[in-house]
Structure 1
């Protein structure tokens, strides 16, 4: 008896909640103000390709 109730909840409300979470995560990552942050994060491997990091930059 309880299995069927949980199964119905999982099929409808949990699926809806997961869909809402997925859509909001996609919208959050593609929001207009995040472009600079994504570009900065994408360039992390190339920051110090000419030499070692300065002590000031590595602390911040």
Structure 2
């Protein structure tokens, strides 16, 4: 089997696609993990807790 440019491009595209899909699934699982909900809620509301008002 000869390694050609077309073969390497096809492998890179296929493996890259599966790599990005795995990273997306991992990020989605992390974002929706039930025990992390409090951390994300605090981060979302931390902007609203600013008592100083807007920056001038």
Both proteins in one fold, TM over 0.5: yes
Rounded to whole Å, the distance in 2 between the matches of 1:25 and 1:48 is 29
- 3-12 vs 38-47, greater mean Cα deviation: 3-12
CA distance in 2, matches of 1:37, 1:7: 41
TM-score with structure 2 setting the length:
0.72
| Residues paired across the two proteins, number | 51
**Structure 1 segments (4+ residues) deviating >2 Å:** none
Q: TM-score, normalised by structure 1?
A: 0.68
Aligned with 2:24 (options 22, 25, 40):
22
Which stretches in structure 2 are left out of the alignment for 5+ residues? Answer: none
Give the number of the structure whose residues are more often helix, by fraction.
Answer: 1
Calculate the aligned-residue CA RMSD, in Å: 2.0
